[in-house]
Amino acid sequence: MADPLHASAFSGLAGLATGALLALVFGGGLFVAGRAFRAARRAAGLKAAHPDEPWLHRPEWAGGRIRDSAHLSAVTLGILAAAWLVLSLVILFAVFGDGSSDPLARAVAAGFTLIGVVLAGFALREVLRLRKFGRSTFELADTPGVIGGTLGGLLFARLPTLPRSGVQLRLQSIHRRSSGAGKQRTTREHLLWEDAARLPPEKISTTSRRRATIPVYFEIPYTCEPARRADADNEYLWRLRAEAAFSGLDYRTCFEVPVFRTAASDPGFQARAGGGTASTPIAEEVWRARGIRLHEGPEAALTMDIPGFGRALLLLPGVVLGAGFLALTVFLHSIGAPILVQGLVALLGALFLAGCLGALFTRVRLEADRNGITVTRKCLGFTRRRLLAAANFDRAIPAEGINYGGTPFHNLSLLNRKGRHLSIGLGLKSLVAVQDLCRRIENAVRP
């Protein structure tokens, strides 16, 4: 039997934890609402002053200096982790405070708390990254970037040393689409266009205070979509990303930049990949980093070997969800829930875990020539082979995979003439690299 004094103490702590959680949620909501209200009021004034110049509707765009949002990911993850851990304390108090000896209840409570600890680890990583690199600033050479023209400027960053492999820059055009209503409303982002360039260390200037100046220059085709909100469900935006490898945490930053169609837009403008500044072929560099090996034989025949998904950390959410569903199945069984419910929850957990394990251990070989395409998959001793004859092959296109932290990872899809597709998991951040692979496959089948 539980000690009444002991249970009362746990009850009091649970009340404090619940109050702290409510205060955190309420206070955070007020802070976010206040900032959003001030930003909306300021934007309304700029729109009234410049009705025909949308690139002046945001203060940072109008000023030509854009600061990154590195602190937002740290704050967001920190608040989420704090709320999860406080809720975990409430659950722990409820389970252990009454002296319950039920091992299943304790296991579920401990698992829920473990997820909070993992979230706290992610939040700490972002805080350490922010402390190491600070916030970066992108200064536009001209406002705005021009469709059928260029986007240029200087990126000011705090780097501990010059990165040996240089800085990789990516400019992305994104379509953000929302669907559904109420609790069923979802938002997805689709990458419409991307260009990339890697600047070698000698093109990056530094000062004694570890401040680095990184030149940015991209050429944008006239066919791209300008930044705009088409309606309540569709928005087009542009992002500039920069990454550099360091020991420990890597440098990463992201800016939302103004790119519009203006009087300076040239329909005949011929955009060069990487603005003509790429020092090495970005696509080949991305393949090597992912472990993809390409061999081109006679008559443009192509062989491509793809290892298992190399970013195990990105699969952690799927593993946690799968394990959570299986733990929930055990709990439902203990309370006598309907067998159908138990089976559905267990199936979800098994699918999550199977998908993650398959992504880690599946190796793929793609062979393409004038006769068609052969795709061979090997996973844990099992082999599966698919054939696509050249007469039935239509085209190869990039396909979006998982989205992690706002960064989409791209796969490859082979389409036949009936519209059916054969998907190949690549897990590449660079759309340019996937598009290059698509071109090589099509050239191998139709030289």
Predicted confidence band at 278 (pLDDT cuts at 50, 70, 90)? very low
Per-residue confidence (pLDDT) for residue 31, from 0 to 100: 65
Per-residue confidence (pLDDT) for residue 32, from 0 to 100: 62
Q: Residue 272 has what DSSP assignment?
A: P
Question: Which of 140-149, 326-335, 373-382, 427-436 is the least confident region?
Answer: 326-335
Given 344, 359, 374, which residue is the final one in a domain?
359
Instruction: Please tell me whether residues 99 and 178 are part of one structural domain.
Output: no
Closest CA to 414 of 405, 402, 403, 423: 423
The two beta strands, 234-244 and 382-389, are: unpaired
Report d(CA 283, CA 294) in Å as an integer: 12
Instruction: Please tell me whether residues 418 and 333 are part of one structural domain.
Output: no
Q: Which two tokens stand for residue 124?
A: 């700490």
Is the pLDDT reported for residue 258 higher than 90? yes
Within a domain: residue 8? yes
Reported as a single tens digit per residue, the pLDDT across 190-235 is: 888 888 888 888 888 887 667 889 999 999 999 999 999 888 888 9
The burial of 183, by beta-carbon neighbours within 10 Å (0-12 exposed, 13-18 middle, 19 or more buried), is given as: exposed
Question: Which ranges of 157-311 does DSSP label H, i.e. alpha helix?
Answer: 282-290
Is the pLDDT reported for residue 19 higher than 70? no
Within a domain: residue 231? yes
Per-residue confidence (pLDDT) for residue 9, from 0 to 100: 54
CA distances to 151, 169, 170, 314, 335 from 252, rounded to whole Å, are 20, 10, 11, 16, 47
Instruction: Please tell me whether residues 193 and 101 are part of one structural domain.
Output: no
Given 108, 133, 158, which residue is the final one in a domain?
133
Instruction: Please tell me whether residues 240 and 326 are part of one structural domain.
Output: no
Torsion angles phi and psi, residue 151, rounded to 5: -125, 125
Q: How many residues does the chain have?
A: 447
Within a domain: residue 61? yes
Within a domain: residue 286? no
Within a domain: residue 295? no
CATH of the domain at 435: 2.30.29
Report d(CA 447, CA 445) in Å as an integer: 6
Query: What is the chain's mean pLDDT, rounded?
Result: 80
Region 239-257: mean pLDDT is 90
Domain tally for the chain? 4
Region 239-243: mean pLDDT is 91
Instruction: Please tell me whether residues 126 and 80 are part of one structural domain.
Output: yes
Is the pLDDT reported for residue 115 higher than 70? yes
For the chain, percent of residues with pLDDT exceeding 70: 79
Report d(CA 235, CA 226) in Å as an integer: 10
Per-residue confidence (pLDDT) for residue 1, from 0 to 100: 46
Instruction: Please tell me whether residues 93 and 147 are part of one structural domain.
Output: no
Instruction: Please tell me whether residues 21 and 127 are part of one structural domain.
Output: yes
Per-residue confidence (pLDDT) for residue 257, from 0 to 100: 94
Question: Which of 165-169, 320-324, 350-354, 392-396 is the least confident region?
Answer: 320-324
Within a domain: residue 371? yes
Residue with tokens 């098994």: 350
Instruction: Please tell me whether residues 149 and 98 are part of one structural domain.
Output: no
Within a domain: residue 141? yes
Is the pLDDT reported for residue 29 higher than 70? no
Reported as a single tens digit per residue, the pLDDT across 31-71 is: 666 666 666 676 666 677 767 788 888 888 888 899 888 77
Reported as a single tens digit per residue, the pLDDT across 383-434 is: 889 999 989 999 898 887 776 656 678 888 999 888 888 888 877 877 878 8
Region 268-296: mean pLDDT is 70
Residue 274 gets the label, from left (phi > 0), alpha (psi -120 to 50) or beta, of left
Report d(CA 53, CA 263) in Å as an integer: 11
Per-residue confidence (pLDDT) for residue 300, from 0 to 100: 66
Per-residue confidence (pLDDT) for residue 424, from 0 to 100: 85
Per-residue confidence (pLDDT) for residue 274, from 0 to 100: 59
What is the span of the domain harbouring residue 36?
A: 4-65+72-133
Is the pLDDT reported for residue 280 higher than 60? no
Instruction: Please tell me whether residues 29 and 125 are part of one structural domain.
Output: yes
Instruction: Please tell me whether residues 122 and 199 are part of one structural domain.
Output: no
Instruction: Please tell me whether residues 348 and 440 are part of one structural domain.
Output: no
CATH of the domain at 256: 2.60.40.640
Q: Which two tokens stand for residue 190?
A: 């689709």
Predicted confidence band at 110 (pLDDT cuts at 50, 70, 90)? confident
Instruction: Please tell me whether residues 14 and 117 are part of one structural domain.
Output: yes
Region 351-371: mean pLDDT is 84
Within a domain: residue 188? yes
CA distances to 60, 75, 139, 301 from 66, rounded to whole Å, are 5, 19, 6, 46
